[in-house]
Structure 1
Amino acid sequence: YQSKELKKNIFELATAYLASGLNPEKCIFFVQSQVEAHAELAWLLGTITPIGELQRMTQYKEKVKKYPKDINAGLVNYPVLMAADILLYQTDLVPVGKDQQQHVELARTIARKFNQKFGQTFKEPKVLLPKTGAKIMSLQNPKKKMSKTDDPRGCLELFEEPEEIKKKIMAAVTDPGKAIKYSDSKPGISNLLTIYSLFSGKSIKELERNFKGKGYEEFKKSLTKLLINSLEPFRRKRKELLSREVYVKEILNAGAKRAKTIAQLTLEEAKKKMGLI
């Protein structure tokens, strides 16, 4: 990454989360690097985590295959840092996509191993996986996960302009035949049905009935309209937040202060159990 861009990216990501509905009065919202306990606990947990387990992580293997010359210790140990992020706050449930489920399972394994070795310290977190939409696929290649880095044309962004939404949905890959039906043999239309279901609140079966006998073009136009209307409040809120940098930073600083109090208690308990001074 470009270090000069990092501060800007952090601010923009914070506005994205706030615009998406996170309420700082109901949650503790902060930047990980503001709370030193994350890095310290990750180091301690790394001492009981076999390197082989980290190298078996699917995302690690994908990165090794894709960027063989850019592999470093930070990438290998990243799942341990994620475990620290979770365990520091005695987390019960972790909402993730299907691609991150393996990392939460590793956090459970690390927590269990620590508790067995040093005494009960951490809760074993459970995965909170949505029944629909646990993994959204690319609009251009419905057999691959939606990702901006792989193909921006296949990635639908929350704050996309209406014309760009229309362009991407109308150009989304579909399947042979005209039936609007969810099926493993129809990954393209199945992916679009999943997106429609998530934004409309309607079941996929209900959508199949509603669009029975209708073509892909009519379905895509309906989905486009739904997405534009649904995402408009997010675009509007984010535009407002981007002009209120001081306000956003105040939220992050207040969240970090609250997070430090909780994290430090857990870290001190873990160090005490390990016999550290």
Structure 2
Amino acid sequence: MAGLNSIDIKPSITQDRENPFKRNWLITSAWLLLAAYLIYSVNAMGLSWERISSGLGYADKLLDKMFPPNFNRWELLLNDLAESLEIAIIASVAGIFLSLFFGLFAARNLMPNWVSIPMRGFIAICRTFHPVIIAILFVKSVGFGALAGILTLIVASIGFIAKLFAEAIEEISLKQVEAIRATGAGFVSVILFSVMPQVFSRFLGFSTYQLDSNLRNSTMVGIVGAGGLGGTLFSAFQRFDYDFVAAILITIIALIMLGEFLSNIVRRIFR
């Protein structure tokens, strides 16, 4: 009707929407506790900018004494370098070979619990202690020298590679395993033709990384008498022979760079 005024009723479109960035007070509290603990730790250890600045001043004096490096005892350097290289290579080969079996026995999708659980416990023990602590134990057991260093790095290799190898096996597709088993193949054939092809590239990556790690650790375990460049480095520090220390450090850097170069070549070959 013309006399009636139409009334437009507009529905309210305002709706309560949940904030997608709603604060999680649990996470916020955790960050606050972490910040408080960091502040407490800094104060408890007496860390301050004055200590850092004074330490940098001493570091500057140390660098002045280290350069130029002294390579006059190059024969000693080469002998220790060769020993460190031998320790790293022997330990890597033995550790990788043993890790193949230990990692296989620790895989829960291929082995029963009474096999995998004790093996995982053994691997965890190998990974528990720092190589220096293990080196001290072997030095006390078998005496000073390269043998203690080799045994130390074998244990370290097992603790790292066997764990990752077992986890890689647990992630494989079991369809290939079942297909090989359906042909009547034995356990060894199943491992060689269904398991290893699926994990070989990852195992190769683990192995090259461990070789690089053993090259570094072979120079470190010598500090406690397990052979290699570490013992010579520690002795040079004790004699305040800093220019020879610089020569040893440069030699260690060259050794690590060589290991990195070789590992890159291996990755390209088997890629």
Q: Same fold (TM over 0.5)?
A: no
Normalising to structure 2: TM-score of the pair?
0.24
Q: Which has the higher helix share?
A: 2
* TM-score normalised by length of structure 1: 0.23
Kindly name which structure, 1 or 2, has the bigger radius of gyration based on alpha carbons.
2
